[in-house]
Structure 1
Amino acid sequence: MESTSTAQVKQPGLMAFSLMLGAFVGLFSETALNMAFTNLMDEFSINASTVQWLTTGYLLVLGILVPISALLMQWFTTRQLFTASLLLSIIGTLIAALSPNFTSLLIARIVQALGTGLLLPLMTNIILIIFPAHKRGTIMGLMGLVIMCAPAIGPTLSGLIVDHLGWEYIFWISLPLLLFTFGFGLTFIKNVAYISKPKIDILSILLSTLGFGGIVFGFSNLAEHSLSEIIVLLPLIIGIISLIWFVLRQFKLETPMLNLRVFKYPMFTLGLIMLFLGMMIILSSAILLPLYLKGGLLLSATVAGVQLLPGSVLNGAMAPVTGKIFDKYGPKLLLPVGFFIATIAVFLFTTNSTETSSMTFILIHCTLFIGLAMVIMPAQTNGLNQLPVKYYPDGAAVMNTLQQIAGALGTTFAITLMSSGETRFANTHPDAVQTEILTAGITHAYLFITALAGIGLILSFFVKRIRV
C-alpha cells in the first residue's frame, strides 16, 4: 500500500520540524551525560572505562537497531514509527531520571537509544521524500544543525544542570521536551512512505546484531583489557565473521534487510567514509574535552560547559550556511577546506597542557567545529544524491548505522588511547600529579584523531559533485 503522496504533504516544514526536534533531544542524550561522568564515577564508585559505557552502550544500541530500520520503514507507517520512537525515548528518559544506581541508568540509556535508533533513519528518509532535490542542501543543512549541534551542546547545557541541580535533571528537563514533541508530531506527521511488507529474514537480523554489536563490544573492552584477552578477541572474531556473513547474505536475498547495492555508487561510498571519520572526531571529542576541562584544568561543570558553548553555537550557525553553499557550489570546495581546518584544530589539541588558557582552548574548539560543519552534511547530501529514489531508505539506514558505529568506536578508541597515554606518562614521570597524567592521556588520544582528520582531508580531493 502507498501512504500519503509527497504532493499531499501541505506542511513539510512542520513535519520536518517534528522529526528534527525529536532527534535533537535524542542526540542531546548521546553526550549530555559526559559532563557528569566525574560526578557519576564518584557517586557510583566506578572508573572511566566503566562510565564510558553510558555513551558507548547508547551508541552500540543505535548501531544495532539502525540497520533494521530500512526493513521497519517498509513494514510500518511513518506515524507508527514516530509514535514508537517517542514512547521509547520518554520511557527511557523517565527511568534514567529515577535511576538509583549505574545498572539502572545503563538500562535506561539502552531504552533511550531504541527510541533514537528508530527516529534518526526515519527523519533522513522522510526528508528525502517530502523535499525536492534542489532544496535538499538547505534542509539537510538544517538537519545538520540537529545532528551536529545536539551532541555538541550536550556538555554545555548539562554542565549548568549538573552544578546547580544534579545529573538527574538532565533527564527531567528532557522529558517535557519529548512530551511536547510527541504531541506536536502526532498533529503534523503524515504517512509518506511506501509500505511493501517484504519478507523478514531473521538470520540477517541476527547476523547484523552479532556483527555490529560484537565489533563495538570487543573494541569497548580494550580500555581495560589487552587485544589478546578473550573478552576482547572473542567478540571481535564473532563480530567480523557475522558481518562478513551478513554482507554476503544480503547480495543473495531477493529482498535484503539492508540493500548493500548502494555501495556500487562511488560518491555515496566516499561520502559515507568521510561522514564516518567526521562522526568519530565529533564524538571522541565530546567525551575527551569535558574530561580535560574538569580533570585537567580543574574547572567546574558550569565553567567547562561555558567554554564549550562558543564552538557549539558556531557549529549550529554554520550548518544551514554550508547547506546553502552546497546547493549553489556543491561539495568540492567545502569538503577539502572543512577537513583541512579540522585537521589543524585536532592537531593543536595535542599541544594542550594543564596551563592552556581558556581563550586558546575556545579558539581551537571553535576552529574544529567550523571545519566539521563544512564536512558532515555536504558529505552526506552529495552521497545520497547519487542514489536512485528506491535506494533512499537503504542509503539513509547505511549512513545512520555507520554514524552510530563511528561514534561508538570513536568514544571507545578515545578512552582506550587516553588510558594507555596516562599509563605511559605515569611510568615515565613518577612525580606527575593526576591533572598532568590525565592531560597527557588526552593529548595522546588526539594524535589518533589527527590521523583520522588527515585521512578525511586526502579523501576529500576525490569528491565529485552529483547533480540531480
Structure 2
Amino acid sequence: MTISEDKMSRESKLILFILILGNFLCLISETVMNVALPNIISNFHVSTSSAQWLTTGYMLIIGISVPISAFLIQRFTLRQLFITAMGLYVVGSFMALITPLFSVLLIARMIQALGTGIVLPLVMSTMLTLVPIHKRGTVIGIFQVAILFAPAIGPVLSGLAIQYYSWRIIFLGLFIAAVVILLFAVYKLKNVLKTSRPTIHIPSVVLSTLGFGGVVYGFSVAGEGSGWSNPFVWITLAIGVIALAVFVKKQTKMESPLISMEPFKSSIFSRSIFLMFLIMMIQFSMMLILPLYFQTAAELSPLETGILMLPGGITLAFTAMIGGRLFDKIGFKPLLIVGLVLLLFILGLFTRISSETTTMEAMILYAFFTIGVGLTVGPVMTLALNQVPKELHAHGSAISNTINQIAGAIGPALYTSVMTMTSQHFIEESSEANKMILKIQGMTKGVHSVYYAALVFAVVSFLLALTLKREKQVETK
C-alpha cells in the first residue's frame, strides 16, 4: 500500500499509531535506567562502571543494529520485523524483571536494545511510504513527540518507581506495555512495505559494526570514569573512524550496499542531516547537564529533577506537533530561523546559571528552550527525508537514525568532559577553603563552559540554516 491521495486511509493511520507507540516505548528505555543506577548498584553490589553498561551497552547495540536495518527492511515484511522487534523487547523486559543476577540484567538490556534498533528506522521508513509529502511535516511532528518526549519522561517514571517501589517496577511497566503493543500488532498490523531479495555483504556488516560500534562505544566511555585520559577510548575511536571510512568507500562502489550513500548526493539532504546532528547535540546540553547541575547545586532528588524537566518535555511534545503542521503550511525556513534564534537566546541566559538560580526559573527557561528545539528538529528531519526517493526510503531512515545515535554518544561525552575539565581547572586555581562551596563553584564554571560550547553549535546551526533553500522534493508514487 502506498499513498498518493490527499488523505491517509484509516488503516494507514492505525499502522502508524502502532509503530509510533512501539517507538515511544523503546525510546523510554534509553533513559529510564539513568535514575535507577544507584539503586541497582546497591542491590547487586556492582561497581558504577559496571552498572553504567546498562545504559552504554544499550546505546552500543542500537548503534550497531540500526545501520543494518536498511537490509532488514528490504528483506523482511513490516509484520515480521515489528513483531520480532517487540517480541525481543518483551523477552528482555521479562528477563530484567525476574533476574536475580546483574549479568542476566545486562543481557536483558541488550535484548531490549536489539528490538529498539529494529523499530526506530522501521517506523520512519513506513512513514515515508504511507504519508503523502504535503502531510509529512505533521506526521513527523507527531513522531518527534516519541523521539524527544520519551527520553524526557523516562527519568520521571523511573524516579517515581524507585521512590515508592523498586527498580523492578520499571521493567514490569515496560513488559506490560510491550505485551499490549505486541498483541495489537499481531492482530492489527498490515504489511505495507515492498520486500526484495537483497544480498547481504558480510564484510560491510563487519565494517559497519566496527565503525558505528567503535564510535558510539568510544564516545560513551569517554563520558565516564577516566574519560579522555583512557587510551582505550582513543584506540576504539580510531578503529571506529577507520572502519567507517572504509565502509563508506565500499558502499559507494557496491550495487547493493548495506547503506546507500545516494541520498548524500542531494546537498539539501546532506546539510539537513548535519543540521539535525547539531540540533540534537544542542538538545543534549540540556537533557544531560541541567538535571546533573541541579542534583548537585540544589541537592534535588532524582524525582524532583525529573519534575524539573517534565514541563519542558510536555512543551516539546506540543511544539513538535505544531511545528510539523506549520512545516506543511509555511515551509521549513521560518521555523528554523525562529527556533534557532530562540535557542541562541536561551543558551545565552544559561551561561549565567548559578546556585542562586531557582528551580522555577530553570524550569521556565528549559520550557522555552524546548520550543526552539520543537520548531527546528522536526522540520529539518522532514526536509532531509523529503529529498529521498521511494526506493531509498530504508536507507534514508537508517542514515537519519544512525546520526541520532551518534549524536547521543558524542553529546554526553563532549559535554561531560568539557564540564569536568573546566571544573577541575577552577578548583585547582581557587583559594576557597570550603570544599562544598568550591565543588558547586567549580561545577558552575563547568556548566557555563558547556553552554558556551552549545552556543557555538547553535551559531553554526543558524548559519547553516540560512544556506538551505527549498528544493524540489521527491513525491511518493
Determine the structure 2 residue equivalent to 1:462: 467
1:25-56 residue CA offsets vs partner (Å, 9 max, x unmatched): 11111122223345456666777766554333
CA contact (8 A) 2:145 2:317 kept: yes
Determine the structure 2 residue equivalent to 1:131: 131
CA contact (8 A) 2:215 2:406 kept: no
Determine the structure 2 residue equivalent to 1:322: 323
Query: What secondary structure does 2:403 align onto?
Result: helix
1:35 aligns with 2:40: no
Distance 1:156 1:60, change over 3 A: same
Determine the structure 1 residue equivalent to 2:250: 249
- In structure 2, what residue type is equivalent to 1:197? R
Distance 1:48 1:445, change over 3 A: farther
Determine the structure 1 residue equivalent to 2:369: 368
Structure 1: stretches of 5+ with no match in the other structure: none
Q: Distance in 2 between matches of 1:51 and 1:167?
A: 13
Query: What secondary structure does 2:356 align onto?
Result: coil
- In structure 1, what residue type is equivalent to 2:150? A
1:444 aligns with 2:445: no
Comparing 317-326 and 445-454, the one that deviates more = 445-454
1:243-271 residue CA offsets vs partner (Å, 9 max, x unmatched): 11101100111111100111011111111
Mapping 1:210-289, distance limit 5 Å: 210-223=210-223, 224-225=225-226, 227=228, 229-289=230-290
Q: Distance in 2 between matches of 1:439 and 1:158?
A: 27
TM-score normalised over the length of structure 2: 0.91
Mapping 1:83-232, distance limit 5 Å: 83-100=83-100, 103-223=103-223, 224-225=225-226, 227=228, 229-232=230-233
CA contact (8 A) 2:214 2:236 kept: yes
1:383-418 residue CA offsets vs partner (Å, 9 max, x unmatched): 111222111111111001111111111122233233
Query: What secondary structure does 1:417 align onto?
Result: helix
Comparing 413-422 and 252-261, the one that deviates more = 413-422
Distance 1:68 1:419, change over 3 A: same
Comparing 176-185 and 433-442, the one that deviates more = 433-442
Determine the structure 2 residue equivalent to 1:313: 314
Determine the structure 2 residue equivalent to 1:338: 339
CA contact (8 A) 2:350 2:448 kept: yes
Query: What secondary structure does 2:74 align onto?
Result: coil
Determine the structure 2 residue equivalent to 1:293: 294
Distance 1:47 1:425, change over 3 A: farther
- How many aligned positions are there? 465
Determine the structure 1 residue equivalent to 2:61: 61
Return the offset for 1:461.
Answer: 0.9
Structure 2: stretches of 5+ with no match in the other structure: none
- In structure 2, what residue type is equivalent to 1:142? I
Return the offset for 1:9.
Answer: 6.5
Q: Distance in 2 between matches of 1:215 and 1:339?
A: 28
Q: Distance in 2 between matches of 1:267 and 1:48?
A: 43
Identity %: 38
Distance 1:106 1:453, change over 3 A: farther
Q: CA RMSD in A?
A: 2.3
1:302-337 residue CA offsets vs partner (Å, 9 max, x unmatched): 222221111111011111110110001111111122
